[in-house]
Amino acid sequence: MTAARPRENHDRPILNPLVASAPIVWVHQSERSFHAPKKMTHIALSRTLTVAGQCIAVLVLAVMDIISSGCSDSASISEGPQVRLADLTINPGSLQPAFSSDTVNYVANVPSAAGAVTVTATPQDSTSSVTIAGTATQSLRVTLDAPPSSKAILIQLTSQSGVESTYTITVNRALGGNSDLTALTVTPGTLVPGFAPSTSAYTVDVVTEVTSVTVAATKSDPDAVMQLHSVTVPAGTASGQDTIPLNGPGTDTPVLITMTAPNGSSKTYNLTIHRAASSNNKLSELTVSVGSLIPSFTPATLNYTVNVNGFVPSMTISATKQDPNAVMSASGSVIAPPGAPTGQVTVSLQGASIEVPITVIAQDGSPQIYRITVNRSF
How far is 378 from 374, CA to CA, in rounded Å?
A: 13
Q: Nearest 5°: CA angle at 341, between 340 and 346?
A: 90
Which of the following CATH numbers is that of domain 283-377: 3.40.120.10, 2.60.40.10, 3.10.20.30, 3.40.50.1970? 2.60.40.10
Tell me, what's the pLDDT at 165? Answer: 97
CB 167 within 8 A of CB 80: no
Q: Nearest 5°: CA angle at 121, between 116 and 125?
A: 170
The three-state secondary structure class of 303 is strand
Pairing of β 353-361 and β 333-336: unpaired
Tell me, what's the pLDDT at 239? Answer: 98
CB 214 within 8 A of CB 244: yes
Does this model's pTM top 0.85? no
Tell me, what's the pLDDT at 45? Answer: 41
CB 325 within 8 A of CB 248: yes
CATH topology of domain 181-275: Immunoglobulin-like (2.60.40)
In the chain, where are the structural domains located?
A: 14-66, 85-173, 181-275, 283-377
How far is 367 from 321, CA to CA, in rounded Å?
A: 12
How far is 186 from 215, CA to CA, in rounded Å?
A: 5
Tell me, what's the pLDDT at 371? Answer: 97
Tell me, what's the pLDDT at 226? Answer: 98
What values do phi and psi take at 34, rounded to 5? -115, 20
DSSP string, 305-322: EEEEETT--EEEEEEEES
Tell me, what's the pLDDT at 60? Answer: 41
Name the CATH superfamily, with its identifier, for domain 85-173. Answer: Immunoglobulins (2.60.40.10)
How far is 274 from 91, CA to CA, in rounded Å?
A: 48
DSSP string, 14-57: EEPPPPTTS----EE--TTTT---TT--HHHHHHHHHHHHHHHH
Q: What is the block-wise mean pLDDT of the chain (378 residues), using blocks of 10 residues?
A: 45 42 42 42 44 44 42 45 97 96 96 93 97 97 94 97 97 93 98 98 96 97 95 97 95 97 96 95 98 97 96 96 95 94 95 95 96 93
